[in-house]
Chains A and B, each alone.
Chain A
Amino acid sequence: MAVTEYVVRTKDVVKEFKMGQETMRALNGISVDIIRGEYISIMGPSGSGKSTLFNAIGGLDKPDSGSVFINDVDMAQLDANELAFLRCHTIGYIFQTFNLITVMTALENVRLPTIFAGKGTEEGTERAIELLNLVGLGHRLHHKPSELSGGQQQRVACARALANNPSIILADEPTGNLDSKTGAEIIDLLRRLNKEQGVTIISATHDYKMLDVSDRIIWIRDGKVDKIENRSDISIHVGGMDGH
């Protein structure tokens, strides 16, 4: 029996921020279901709540109400150590600002999550070299982030996100700090990882190049789901336009 496997489900997620006297509702009841192996783009103008949703899905911030399920586990039920375990094994993060540890080499950065997973140095090093080769940085193993270009740093971050074979990669504006050519390379890389490794990719973005590779696009506006589009629908739509 083919059952659709949801890797992420959110139900009525609400998150508020206090700004002086006023309370701002960054997320106003978001419910989305994401299927294993999908490539999802979360689109929306800045301030729409994209990053807040990203943080809620990634367990980086607790929603004020509603629930987030990762592989059917309710994140609200997890204590700090269980959350750390989940972040270590199930989710890989990629950030707009790369967030590599500046004092560590590319190799050490990629190996770090394997240390948190309790793997030995040798096993971790092997895995890190394998991943850096996969992202095309096999010749830059011992370079510090400051010695790498933005695109190279983001590729190190992609390799690091994959270190413990996560089922989900969360990318918050991964191309936001890159020029469009380098950005396109990162998008290609993410798509390849999605196809070859079967990892689910959820990416907050306002880069329209992302739309081309996404299976589904979730549009967020004012903390709510505006619409969810399938890639195929957009193709038909574009095709229709071409016909006229």
Chain B
Amino acid sequence: MPGENNSSQQTALEAGINRIHLPFSTVVQITMNSLKIRFWRSMVTASGIFLGIAFLSYVSTNLLTSEGQGIEERARLVWLVVMSLLVSTVGIVNSMLMSVTERFREIGTMKCLGAPDDFVVKLFFVEAVFTGAVSSVGGWVVGYLGSVIAKSFSIGLIHSFQAVGAVRTLELAVGCIVIGVFVTLIATIAPARSAAAMPAAAALRTEV
């Protein structure tokens, strides 16, 4: 009977939907594999984030060690920090947008093979958190050390570290990493979500 066939199909569909809960480890495994295989491409993307955060970290450390200098000099440094924040945001958004849009076809293919929309978004989520965190940590270390070492030529290395202080070093680290990961995440998830929500045919047609 066509009617019976219909209802049994529907229940099979419903039962199946409850069953598709891909384990998070699968998502992590696929993402890490994809990052590893696209190693150089991943490095280029990561360097966009890395440089932005290194710049931010460098000028922020300069600002922290600028006590005793004139009000004008400090105002100039604040201005530099604001600028570096803008530059790093644009840099990160640019790298991540490119890295997602060049994979629209891959998203379309995965959808054809039966990947649920949220699975595709999860892949990019894990990739963004990982790339963002690793390159932000790297950027922070390099920017911070760069500033401290530059300062050490005038006041010596020990004094230079002391000028920043442990608490503010930690605050700076947290700030840089949070900003790096957050901006990377937003810049990745927004295009990935819209790609996943597209009809598969549209995603497949995309040419970059």
Contacts and interface: CB of A to CB of B under 8 A. Distances in A.
Contacts of A59: 200
B76 interface: no
B13 interface: yes
B161 to A, nearest CB: 43
A55 B201 contact: yes
B104 to A, nearest CB: 12
A116 B197 CA distance: 17
B22 A116 contact: yes
Interface stretch (A84-92, A127-135, A192-200, A223-231): A84-92
A86 B20 CA distance: 12
Nearest to B36: A103
B115 interface: yes
B201 A85 contact: no
A117 B108 CA distance: 17
Interface in B9-56: 9-10, 13, 16-17, 19-22, 26, 30, 33-34, 37-38
Interface residues of A, number: 35
Nearest to A70: B9
Nearest to B34: A103
A184 to B, nearest CB: 25
Nearest to B113: A113
A125 B153 CA distance: 60
A72 interface: yes
B109 interface: yes
Contacts of A71: 5, 9
Interface residues of B, number: 37
B201 A61 contact: yes
A216 interface: no
A19 interface: no
A27 B13 CA distance: 29
Contacts of A80: 116-117, 197
B182 interface: no
A112 B201 CA distance: 19
B111 A99 contact: no
A22 to B, nearest CB: 19
A178 to B, nearest CB: 19
Given A55-B201, A60-B201, A72-B2, A88 B13 contact: no
B193 to A, nearest CB: 12
Most chain B CB inside 10 Å of its own CB: which residue of A58, A72, A84, A104: A84
A62 B199 CA distance: 8
The 3 A-B residue pairs with the shortest CB-CB distance in the complex, in nearest-first order: A88-B114, A60-B201, A61-B201
Interface of A: 55, 58-62, 71-73, 78, 80-82, 84-89, 93, 95, 99-104, 112-113, 115-118, 160, 164
